[in-house]
Amino acid sequence: SKMTVKAVKMPCTAPNVYTKVPDGGWGWTVAFAFFFVEALTYGIIKSFGVFFNDLMESFDETNSRISWIISICVFVQTFTAPLSTVLSNRFGHRFVVMAGGVLISTGMVTASFARTVVDMYVTIGVISGLGYCLSFLPTVTILSQYFDKRRSLVTAVASTGECFAVFSFAPAITALKEQIGWRYSLLSVGVLQLSIVICGSLLRPIIIKEQEEVKPQPPEEPTETKYMLENEQTRTSIESIDSGVEITTSPSNVPGKTKAELKSEEPKEHVQILAENNSTPPEPKTKLLDFSVMKDYSFICYAFFGLFATLGFFAPSLYIIPLSLSLGIGKDRSAYILSAMAIAEVFGRVSAGWVLNKKPIRKIYIELICVVLLSVALFAFPFASEFWGLMTCSIFFGFMLGTVAGTHIPLLAEDDVVGIAKMSSAAGVYVFIQSIAGLAGPPLAGVLVDTTQNYSSAFYSCAAGMVLGAVFLSLVRPCKAGLCRRQQQHTEESAAEVAPDLPDDFIEMDIAKAENSGKGCDSA
């Protein structure tokens, strides 16, 4: 409790020090910052579909080439995740997120002056993509450190910033384009994203120092019998001792004394100081990036789940408006479909967080059910042929997407995957593996659209990837359970090898030796 009071009195630049995970406190401010970081990162990425047709007409490019803008952005964002982890462990989460906000704004503002699609690849794809990585991943990592029991619910609610952004940005940018054009609209978005710097300044680091319980040490067993027989009367008063045998604590007669004890006795204060020094060994240096998680089979399966599931995360949001326009739906009503998807995603994220916050519950199985239903939602899109059918599919997809997108990264902190101790490094490696699908997903969907001349085919690749992701997700828990059993078996075998093979009657043997030596003394 004293450590917590100190943390409140510290200046805003100092880390918060707690004796245990606070499940609140400054964590609420971090959750507030994460809400806006989500809105200004993933919210903008998912709303980028409103610029799709404008960029095709302005640059006279195909669907697949325009899709590479977001593909490169998502690839850079996920591919540089280990770099984000290293920088966060080296310089702190606050500095990294603030630097990411500057990069995002710089890339977007510069993209508004682009003359070719290649310029967009560099500005939005590379510069803003790197900024998205530096802003999002450290924020969600430090938020997980501030909460334990409420982690799933708080993370899910805070991640709804992305959904509210899509709900509000899609119609707002559409209306703004009609007034000032797509270039100045993109410039306005870049200026707005500069506020990520303010959010990053609120991310105070957290230190958990558990109070060490001082356990009373058991009394030391004496090395010899400490009966000082001062005179002959005391010596003869003990009935169990033969009068011819003298018990003394002189160094010459006590075998328990070592040579060091014969020469000098160590002061008690000196021994106490040595004990204190040995009880608090120096803390090991924190690894900037721990790749040992790659040895965990459960994490490998979970990483493959993220790899294939990413195929279905971004493409539907990019192609929902072109799909609606191809079905003869107006621009305004198309924007409402995207907004409805975002609102449904809000309810999905909150519902998933509420369910996963219940105990006891196996969270990995709840995630698996949500992924299976998300696959069904993706397969349903090609069967929609008019506004209300597409609206229904979008709402169902948005809800199920919220249940998965808001929980798949925080779920790394659960013991079924890697645990909170390795959360930072695992998140970096996990998102890094996702980069392959993030790069290939939208262009693959674009190629299918250009080949078939049908936007519905883009959703088939997303659904296929989600089904493969569900298969690998179903293997996470069995791999973790098998690994635990192997570790337990190895521990038991090691303990059996170390234990000495002592005879059952070793106590009786020692007593017999003592009696024989006593008889020998009497006969002498």
Distance CA 324, CA 131 (A): 31
Q: Give the phi and the psi of residue 214 in degrees, each rounded to 5.
A: -80, 105
Q: Residues 435-447: what's their mean pLDDT?
A: 75
Same fold, 15-210 and 289-496: yes
Q: Which two tokens stand for residue 510?
A: 């020692």
| Selected residue with higher pLDDT from 339 and 178 | 178
- How many residues would you count in the chain? 524
Local structure of residue 15 (DSSP, 8 states): P
* Cα separation, 376 vs 397, whole angstroms: 9
Residue ranges per structural domain of the chain: 15-210, 289-496
Is 289-496 CATH 3.20.20.150?
no
- Characterize 133-152 residue by residue with b for buried, 16 or more Cβ atoms within 10 angstroms of its Cβ, and e for exposed: bbbbbbbbbbbbbbbeebbb
Distance CA 491, CA 234 (A): 54
CB 192 within 8 A of CB 128: no
Instruction: Write phi, then psi, for 50 (nearest 5 degrees).
Output: -70, -20
H or E segment to which residue 338 belongs:
helix 331-356
In 3D, which of 1, 34, 41 has the Cα closest to residue 190?
41
Q: Is 413 left (phi over 0), alpha (psi -120 to 50) or beta?
A: alpha
CA distance 280 to 276: 7
Most confident of 151-155, 170-174, 222-226, 311-315: 170-174
Would you tell me the crossing angle of helices 151-158 and 129-146 to the nearest 10 degrees? 150
Number of C-alpha atoms within 13 angstroms, CB side, residue 373? 18
Which amino acid, one-letter code, is at 457? S
CB-based burial of residue 63 (10 Å sphere; 0-12 exposed, 13-18 middle, 19+ buried)?
Answer: buried
CB 203 within 8 A of CB 143: no
Record the tokens describing residue 50, joined without a space. Answer: 């409103």
Per-chain mean pLDDT for the chain: 75
What phi and psi values does residue 419 have, to the nearest 5 degrees? 100, 165
Residue 341 has pLDDT above 90, yes or no: no
pTM of this structure: 0.61
pLDDT in tens, 308-326: 888 777 667 777 888 888 8
Q: Which residue has the tokens 């005879």?
A: 503
Q: Which has more pLDDT, 323 or 14? A: 323
- Using an 8 Å Cβ cutoff, are 124 and 71 in contact? no
Task: Answer yes or no: is pLDDT of 460 > 80.
Answer: yes
Within 10 Å of residue 24's Cβ, how many Cβ atoms?
Answer: 12
Sign of CA dihedral 396, 398, 401, 403: negative
Per-residue pLDDT, 342: 79
Residue among 390, 361, 359 at smallest CA distance from 477:
361
Task: Give the pLDDT confidence of 217-258 residue by residue, as tens digits.
Answer: 555 544 444 444 444 444 444 444 444 444 444 444 444 444
Higher pLDDT, 108 or 149: 108
The 10 Å Cβ neighbour count of residue 353 is 25
H/E run at residue 384: none
Give pLDDT tens digits for 48-89: 878 888 898 888 888 778 888 988 888 888 788 888 888 888
Q: What pLDDT score does 195 carry? A: 93
More confident residue, 411 or 216: 411
pLDDT band at 187 (very low <50, low <70, confident <90, very high): very high
Please provide the DSSP assignment of 35-65 as one string.
Answer: HHHHHHTHHHHHHGGGGHHHHHHHHT--HHH
Please name which of 307, 313, 399, 319 lies closest in space to residue 67, comparing C-alpha atoms: 319
Res 239: pLDDT:
45
Residue, of 335 and 303, whose pLDDT is higher: 303
15-210 in CATH: which number?
1.20.1250.20
C-alpha pair distances (Å), 216 with each of 49, 160, 211, 212, 273: 66, 50, 16, 12, 16
From the number of C-beta atoms within 10 Å of its C-beta (0-12, 13-18, 19+), residue 401 rates as buried
Taking a C-beta distance cutoff of 8 angstroms, is the pair 114, 120 a contact?
Answer: yes
| Token reading at 94 | 């606050």
Is 13 or 324 the better-scoring residue by pLDDT? 324
pLDDT per position as a tens digit, 478-518: 887 765 565 556 555 555 555 455 455 544 555 555 555 55
For residue 165, give the nearest of 45, 33, 323 by alpha carbon. Answer: 45
pLDDT for residue 468 is more than 80 = yes
Model pLDDT, residue 111: 93
Contact 97, 135 (CB under 8 A): yes
Q: What does the pLDDT read at residue 488?
A: 55
- Burial label, 256 (beta-carbon count in 10 A; 0-12, 13-18, 19+): exposed
Max CA pair span of the chain: 119
3-state SS, one letter per residue, for 149-189: CCHHHHHHHHCCHHHHHHHHHHHHHHHHHHHHHHHHHHHHH
Q: Which two tokens stand for residue 369?
A: 């059910």
